[in-house]
């Protein structure tokens, strides 16, 4: 028990190697080892994640970082919001060539897409089976991303409808979420 406590306490100090620290932070956020290694700057499939997973200092740092639920939730929320904002508000037209005379779309410069933050917004590719040419691609839905951001920030209020008139109008509200605190729940009244 003392060894575990000492290991966790040792994890409270950031790692000296920046790549190791980034790796530990990514792993604490539940990123797969290979993805965490790439985020830290290692080459894909280089095997560095296996070495880092065996290091005691990295294990201790991951354990310590994973214990901070508030920070982890804040960071996950930030990442989700960043990704949704990218889908909602990015403009893929920045990476296309248009014929000035006719206004027709000539081509998509996939190098520009790959090098820009727009790459994750491409959700689907279709290729011709014979030529291997890209025939169609689909982008994330901007409207879906906006709807998720709206819900995430609580901008979706109950829908209200007023019926009748006069002195006693009837108002109907549609409630989207009902939260019941289990500690105070009275099952007969619910």
pLDDT score at 133: 82
Q: What is the pLDDT of residues 50-109, one digit of tens each?
A: 999 999 999 999 999 988 888 889 999 999 999 999 999 988 888 888 888 888 888 888
Residue 179 is predicted with a pLDDT of 59
pLDDT digits (tens, 9 = 90+) for 134-169: 888 888 889 999 999 988 888 876 555 566 666 766
Checking 14-20 for CB contacts under 8 A at 24+ apart, the result is 14/61, 15/57, 15/58, 15/61, 20/52, 20/55, 20/57, 20/58, 20/61
pLDDT recorded at residue 82: 92
**Which pLDDT score is estimated for 151?**
87
Average pLDDT over residues 101-120: 86
In the chain, domain spans: 2-67, 89-148
What's residue 4's pLDDT? 62
Model confidence at 38: pLDDT above 90: yes
CA 30 from chain centre, in angstroms, equals 12
According to the model, what pLDDT value does residue 57 have?
93
Q: Which residues of 152-177 are buried (b: 16+ CB within 10 A; e: fewer)?
A: eeeeeeeeeeeeeeeeeeeeeeeeee
Higher pLDDT, 2 or 120: 120
Contact 77, 21 (CB under 8 A): no
Q: Which residue has the higher pLDDT, 189 or 45?
A: 45
Q: Which parts of the chain are beta strand (E)?
A: 96-98, 105-108, 122-127, 134-139, 159-163, 170-174
pLDDT at 190: 43
Distances (CA, A) of 22 to 18, 44, 51, 74: 6, 15, 15, 17
* pLDDT per position as a tens digit, 15-29: 999 999 999 999 999
């Amino acid at each position: 028990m003392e060894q575990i406590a000492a290991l966790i306490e040792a994890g409270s100090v950031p790692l000296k190697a920046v790549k190791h620290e980034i790796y530990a932070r990514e792993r604490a956020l539940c990123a797969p080892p290979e993805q965490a290694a790439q985020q830290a700057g290692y080459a894909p499939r280089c095997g560095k994640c296996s070495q880092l997973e065996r290091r005691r200092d990295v294990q201790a740092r991951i354990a310590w970082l994973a214990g901070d639920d508030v920070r982890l939730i804040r960071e996950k929320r930030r990442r989700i919001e960043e990704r949704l904002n990218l889908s909602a508000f990015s403009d893929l037209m920045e990476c296309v060539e248009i014929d000035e005379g006719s206004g027709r779309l000539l081509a998509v410069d996939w190098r520009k897409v790959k090098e820009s933050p727009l790459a994750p917004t491409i959700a689907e590719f279709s290729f011709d089976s014979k030529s291997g040419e890209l025939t169609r691609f689909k982008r994330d839905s901007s409207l879906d991303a906006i709807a998720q951001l709206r819900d995430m920030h609580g901008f979706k209020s109950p829908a209200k409808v007023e019926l009748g008139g006069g002195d006693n109008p009837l108002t109907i509200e549609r409630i989207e979420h009902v939260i019941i605190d289990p500690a105070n729940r009275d099952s007969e009244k619910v």
